[in-house]
A and B are shown apart, each in its own frame.
Chain A
Amino acid sequence: MKADAADAARTLKVEDLSVHYGGVCAVRSIGFTVEPGESVGIIGANGAGKTSTLKALMGLVPRSGGRIRLGDRDLTRVRARDMVRHGIGYVPEGRHVFPGLPAEKNLLLGAYSKPWDKETQRQLDEVYALFPVLAEMRDRLAGALSGGQQQMLAIGRALMSRPRLLVLDEPSMGLSPILVGSILDVLLKLREEGLSLLLVEQNAKLTFGATSHCLVMENGEVAMTGPSADLRHDPRVREVYLGL
């Protein structure tokens, strides 16, 4: 019973979310839910509104409408900087690490919203266990890390706030096939630990490997939804969005 209550508290529910830039509608009243421990992917063409959806969810661009709930809490009016306090971690498109700070400081900044305690150190050790290469590079400036290491750093930084839901925008961009493989392994491991994921991704391997459910976006709307396993074999999805 107790576990159920905790689970209910983690369901992300997005309703009627819209985003306008100037007079142009980028996202048109879309809705979706991410159940606890579920992993949802969003695919679609460039300009379909995937990144705008994530940014609007995080409060990084103004929403022109919509409601966001995480469990029984209403996050509609929560500012971007407070989202992390409600248990949502965000890995932005293009990494956005702090290039002038050492890797470890980047990670610690991810725990900025939490009091510094033993838990922080434990979390740091966990991130290093997940990404051993970051432990080796802990004193290297983030700007001097390779693209793949920066991506791991961005994910590690988001994990430092001990989120219950991790939102990732194109984590595979610019990564070698071998690193896409290790990002997939990491996402699967996080899912096993019970973390919910919301993933925008172009890479077929990562999208279908890491998610249980997918939305296909087109012109700012949800064109199709379904279990990833079904979409994976949908000829239209394969051809148009994944080039398989």
Chain B
Amino acid sequence: MKSRITAVLALVVAAGALPYGLGSYTIHVVDIALIYALLAIGMGLAMGISGQINLAQVAFFGVGAYCVAILTTNNGYGFWAAAVLAVLATVVTGLLVGIPALRMQSHYLGIVTLGLALGFINWITNADISGGADGISGVPVPTLPGVDLSSEYLYYYLEAVVFGLGLVFGLFVVHTSLGRRLRAMRDDALAAGATGAEIPLLRMTAFVLASLYGGLAGILYAGLIRYVAPETFSLGNMFILLAMVIIGGRRSLVGCVVGAIGLTLVREWLSDFSTYAQLGYGAVVVLMVVFAPTGLAGVPARLRDLYRRRFGRTSDDRAELRPFTPYTPGPEPSQDGPLLQVAEVSKDFRGLRALDEVSLTVDAGEIRGIVGPNGSGKTTLFNVVSGFYRASAGTVRFAGADTTRARPYALSLAGVARTFQNLRLFGQLTVRENILVALDRTRTYTIWQYALWQPGVIRRERRLRGAAQSVLERYGLVDFAEAAPASLPYGIQRRIEIARAMATRPRLLLLDEPAAGLNGEEVQQLVRIVRSIRDSGTTVVLIEHNMGLVMSLCEKITVLSSGKVIAEGTPAEVVAAPEVIEAYLGDSDLSELGMSAPPSAERPSPAKEATS
């Protein structure tokens, strides 16, 4: 920590002393480099952090610069008044450009944003108000009492301050709740929705952030060059900007900055060979994507890995899954009506009926098992209940309210949490961050705090981190807190899924095959975890093929087959039903399924004990 502060201080001092050693042309190049660095931070926030392909960053840059130029030369505004209006105009543009992201993603979004950027370039080249191809000259020097900003040396300090604040704000966003949600959305939008993230608003936020940085860069550009023309905002420059972000490392803002400054300097050196310069950028981008997909920012970690593999001492302290600490039993849930009511729900997929008038009622405090052959519609039912699918017919009621058409984030905030059969952890986040995303129960509108009340963000962050530590400890995951989930064995990922779902403090927990890939001892631990979760006051519905687990945990079992409920009752009733044996169990030897030994004898009737 101390060395880090020293390093930052040294950088600040170096940045302050920099102009003293530079000629007048070099300082101009540095000024340009800082403007590109701001643009690159905006790109990084949209593309690298939020996963929104944004090829309209030059348009945001242009809107900022042109607004200042037009308002000062045409409408007689002062520079700073024009600058404020320019920021507003850019952010509005950002919102408009972001609208397509609500409907499409990945390369489709790239094409659309690129098209919008092209439209902007055509417009400024042809419109009268923007001075056509000649552009607008005569932008006034920004006024600052006592400082002559027409000097590029002094302008450097203005830029350095804006850039410094911009970088710090960007890093602040990335490492606190908003940035974590954006990154979670990038890794898995569906799972992020299931943990309460409002995906459409977050996508718009990503574009607002990108446009904010684009606008600031445009204003600084107008004040520095005092002349704007279409060629600055060309697609060629968009490509270079993209190259900066990819070479630097799009997932790291510092990487973006390094890429931007580095490439601007390289471009200056290469300006005598402009014919080959573009070719060179192209080649470098290709090489980076192939050999260092995480960009320059990822190189240190890759080297460290390589070093460890080659020379590292093999540590004997293997990370291990610690035992689960039970919850303190909560109060008996108040019994005013069922918690979940699924009434005659059907779901059709292009002629295939996955669910056929399924009805199911789960009382508060119950552990309900759902079994059935593969392909019988169990996961589809979960998807309908958790808002991923909309039922073709029928209604779903949760805690008395009609939630048939509710979105996943709304259901998450209302108290429905789920795990995923095929594991949907946020792959680029650490285990701790996976938990933090789920712990954050705020709505997206609270991001106003980022603009106006940062201490509120910090305070919330501190609270969340404390809570995350106790979730990690409770689930025995502390050894894996900083690990990437994908590097962990299946069984541990399954436990993280449960911890993440429980971090949302749900009233209803849907577990989709929680025992898949667990061995006998681990299944026993799972039984204890699920019991404890129920005793803490959370109702549990679980899909499982491990009949030993289902028999020992569930008071009631619902059997689905071909999208229909074919049986419902106590475990003993269900396994004896001939249609269940025929469709599901087959001639299974029950002792081999682990049914002979009651896995946990210490709590014969946990629901009763929970009240004491």
Q: Show the binding face of A for B, using Cβ within 8 Å.
A: 20-25, 43-47, 51, 62, 64, 93-94, 145-149, 170, 173-181, 202, 204-205, 219-220, 238-244
Contacts and interface: CB of A to CB of B under 8 A. Distances in A.
Contact of B518 (A46, A148, A177, A204): A46
Contacts of B513: 174
Contact of A178 (B489, B588, B592): B588
Given A23-B312, A240-B520, 10 more contacts: A24-B319, A43-B519, A45-B521, A46-B321, A147-B374, A176-B372, A177-B588, A205-B593, A241-B519, A241-B521
Nearest to B587: A181
A177 B318 contact: no
Most B-side CB within 10 Å, residue of A21, A93, A176: A176
B456 interface: no
A25 B318 contact: yes
B566 to A, nearest CB: 13
A220 B374 contact: no
Nearest to A206: B592
B520 A46 contact: no
Contact of A44 (B519, B524, B588, B596): B519
B374 A174 contact: yes
A182 to B, nearest CB: 8
Given A177-B593, A219-B318, A243 B489 contact: no
Contacts of A219: 318
Residue from A146, A178, A238, A239 having most chain B Cβ neighbours under 10 A: A178
A71 B524 CA distance: 41
B16 interface: no
A107 to B, nearest CB: 19
A148 B373 contact: yes
Contacts, number: 141
Interface in B481-538: 487-492, 513, 516-524
Nearest to B309: A20
Contacts of B612: none
Contacts of A243: 519-521, 523-524, 548, 594, 597, 599
Contacts of A174: 374, 421, 513, 516, 545
B308 A22 contact: yes
B592 A239 contact: no
Contact of A240 (B319, B492, B521, B591): B521
Nearest to B522: A46
Contacts of B315: 23-25
Contact of A47 (B309, B320, B584): B320
B115 interface: no
B585 A177 contact: yes
B512 to A, nearest CB: 10
A183 to B, nearest CB: 11
B586 A244 contact: no
Contact of B489 (A46, A64, A145, A180): A46
Contacts of A173: 490, 516-517
A128 to B, nearest CB: 19
Given A23-B315, A202-B518, A46 B492 contact: yes
B3 interface: no
B314 interface: yes
Contact of A146 (B314, B319, B374): B374
A202 B519 contact: yes
Contact of B314 (A20, A94, A177): A20
B231 interface: no
A93 B320 CA distance: 21
Given A47-B489, A178-B585, A23 B375 contact: no
6 tightest A-B CB contacts, nearest first: A243-B520, A146-B375, A46-B491, A178-B586, A148-B374, A146-B374
Nearest to B349: A144
Contact of B591 (A44, A94, A244): A244
B422 interface: yes
A45 B522 contact: yes
A45 B519 contact: yes
Contacts of A170: 490, 517
Nearest to A243: B520
B589 interface: yes
B492 A47 contact: yes
Contact of B520 (A62, A94, A145, A241): A241
22 contacts: A22-B305, A23-B308, A24-B319, A25-B315, A44-B519, A45-B522, A46-B490, A46-B518, A51-B489, A147-B375, A147-B421, A149-B374, A177-B586, A177-B593, A178-B584, A181-B588, A202-B518, A205-B589, A239-B520, A240-B521, A241-B519, A241-B520
